[in-house]
Amino acid sequence: MEKVKPGTREGCVNIGDAAFPKPFYPGLEFNSPAHGTWNIVHIGMLIPETREIFVCADGCMRGVVLTAAEMNTEDRFSFVLLDEEDMTMSDIDDVTIEGVSRCLDRLKEAGKMPPAVLLFTVCVHHYLGANLDHIYGELEKRYPDIRFVRCFMDCILQKAKPAPDIKLRAAMYDLIEPVKQDSTLISLIGSELPLYKTCDIYKIIEIVSGSPAANVLSRTVNPVLKNLPESYFKAIEDGRGLRPQMNAITFKEMATLITYEEFLDIGKSAMLMAVQPAAKMALERLGGRLGRAAFYMPAAFDMDTIERQWHELADLIDENCMGSAWKNNGEHTELHELMDREIESLREDCGRALKQALRTVGDTEIRIDSSFHPRPLELAALLLTHGFKVTGVYTETFNPEEEAAYTSLRKEFPELNIYSIVHPEGRVSHGNAPGAIAIGQKAAWFTGTKHFVNGVYGIGLFGFDGIIRLCGLMEEAFKTEKDVEDIIVRKAWGCESCV
């Protein structure tokens, strides 16, 4: 990819002039009051019954310990504070080992020993050259009944190497052991939010297996996900039966796990899947270690991409879970024909939904942000090519998977504005498009509109079904106002919050 030019020092650039994948110069950063994205504390808490222990200075600790408090999981969180003496006069390895040991000894006295500890070391450990093998090895020796997961809050590395949340998603699954395979089990890993049960993945499973996918949940989700909107559950109730049936495939989602044992059962999966870019590293690591099929099927808005994903997933399910029952002379011809008929119908449904949404919102300005969905450019391209007036996308970097959408938008819609979400001027230049429809919390704050589609990480939207649902959400946003401040200041959309 030819670089257009280095990232601009301005807070806004036309996509026609924007560098890929980093359109903005990395200068000072501000932080908007939109906090719906999940941080490492929220993500780690998805493993039921475990405890997180952080070892860092007060300033770094404050954000994570209050994250736990706000989500009412302070009883699953411990920490060791580091001070100047620890960093300059002591051995950081010893300080970490003894501090964590003290936490665990007190938990033992209280009868609260966890099955596993997510132990987070930080920039300071990295900077001081802490011997992590020694730290974890010694703790494993002292507490043989506890599994220790190597987690990091090393923000100083996040611009050059995988960010802490990506490394955490990968490390969490290090607890999974390769137990005996269950050919009817597919697990979706690395997603914080459950998918809608009407989404394409469930449809594909049903077509391939001949019966609806069983799911381990009804109205029950992971204990931390107490603020999911009712629409999730309505979708379940409206959908077809989810009770396990003979030969049915069980589709297990990380966000639906209730117990630690259920989490460990991921090790039985015949096939692993991920739909979030941040989970790709986890998928590759776990799939490789367990020796199981691993399929990365990122949520997309490009219909050709979605169509291709349908066929790929169907083939893999048949091969890994159905004993290649659909294969004839080495081909999946019959299955693909079945798929194509369904896809054609869904494409038509998408077209109708987009037209209906356009009739409703007309030429209302639309702005999208990258916290809503990892593919904001594809979403912008979809809407622009269907006549919507998308005027801006808020993102700090482009998702490398969106290079095709970037190229297409540069050619077809070069005037599309790309806005930085951390540029210093953003602190004072918000509220400049109050009549817009915002897709995402940050877009809502920057525009100052009360009409917005709320959510993060694609909110369980997936495939053709995701496009149709999003059209409905845009219409709803156009017609109704939301209390933006009350909604967006809460951390981790969908997660329990005491705020």
Partner 1 sequence: MRIENSYIVTPCYTADASGVCSALFELGGMIVMHDPSGCNSTYNTHDETRWYDKDSLIYITGLTEIDAIMGNDKKVVEDVSDAAERLKPAFITICGSPIPYLNGTDYNAIASMIEKKTGIPAFAVHTNSMHDYIAGGGAALKEYVSCMLKILQKKYGLNDIRNIKSAICDQSLSEHDKIYQQSSDKSDKNNRRVINILGASPLDFGDFRTITSIKQAFVNRDIDISTSFAFGSGDIKNGVDIDGILLPDLNADVNLVVSAMGIPLAKYLYEEFGTPYVLGVPTGKFAEVLSEDIKRAAAAGTCSTGYAKNSAGHRRKAGDAGKLEPGPADKADPAREIDVAIIGEAVTMSSLAAAIRLQYGCNVKVLCPLEFSKSALTENDMAFKGEEQCIELLKGVKHVIADPLYRPLCPETAVFHGLPHVAFSGRCFIRDVKDLVTILDT
Q: Which DSSP category does 237 fall into?
A: H
In a 3-state reduction of DSSP, which class is residue 211? coil
The correct pick among 12, 41, 61, 273 for binding partner 1 (CB under 8 A) is 61
The correct pick among 159, 226, 240, 341 for binding partner 1 (CB under 8 A) is 159
Q: How would DSSP label each residue in 444-466?
A: HHHHT-S-EE--SGGGG--HHHH
Tokens of 236: 């379940």
The correct pick among 157, 258, 404, 487 for binding partner 1 (CB under 8 A) is 157
The correct pick among 1, 5, 27, 247 for binding partner 1 (CB under 8 A) is 27
Contacts with partner 1 in 396-435 (CB under 8 A)? 422, 424-425, 427-428
**Which H or E run contains 77?**
strand 77-81
- Residue number, 70 or 315, with CB nearest to partner 1: 70
Work out the angle at residue 477's Cα, subtended by the Cα atoms of residues 300 and 489, and round it to the nearest 5 degrees: 85
Q: Is 86 in the site for partner 1 (CB under 8 A)?
A: yes
Outline where 210-332 has alpha helix (H).
230-238, 260-264, 280-290, 303-321
- Residue number, 63 or 351, with CB nearest to partner 1: 63
Nearest distance from residue 90's CB to partner 1, in Å? 9
Prior bond of 21 cis (ω within 30°): yes
- What is the contact mask toward partner 1 in residues 474 to 493, using x (rule: CB under 8 A)? -----------x---x-x--
Q: Is 59 in the site for partner 1 (CB under 8 A)?
A: yes
Q: Are 422 and 9 in contact (CB under 8 A)?
A: no
Q: Is 459 in the site for partner 1 (CB under 8 A)?
A: no
Nearest to 64 by CA among 78, 75, 50: 78
First to last CA, the chain: 45
- Residue number, 94 or 340, with CB nearest to partner 1: 94
Nearest distance from residue 499's CB to partner 1, in Å? 6
The correct pick among 3, 5, 58, 134 for binding partner 1 (CB under 8 A) is 58
The CA distance from 353 to 195, in Å, is 20
Q: Are 73 and 50 in contact (CB under 8 A)?
A: no
The footprint of partner 1 on this chain (CB under 8 A) covers a number of residues equal to 64
Q: Is 60 in the site for partner 1 (CB under 8 A)?
A: yes
The CA distance from 80 to 99, in Å, is 6
Q: Is 96 in the site for partner 1 (CB under 8 A)?
A: no
Contacts with partner 1 by CB under 8 A lie at 9, 26-31, 33, 35, 56-63, 65-66, 69-70, 74-75, 78-84, 86-88, 94-95, 98-100, 102-103, 106-107, 110, 123-124, 126-128, 155-160, 422, 424-425, 427-428, 485, 489, 491, 498-499
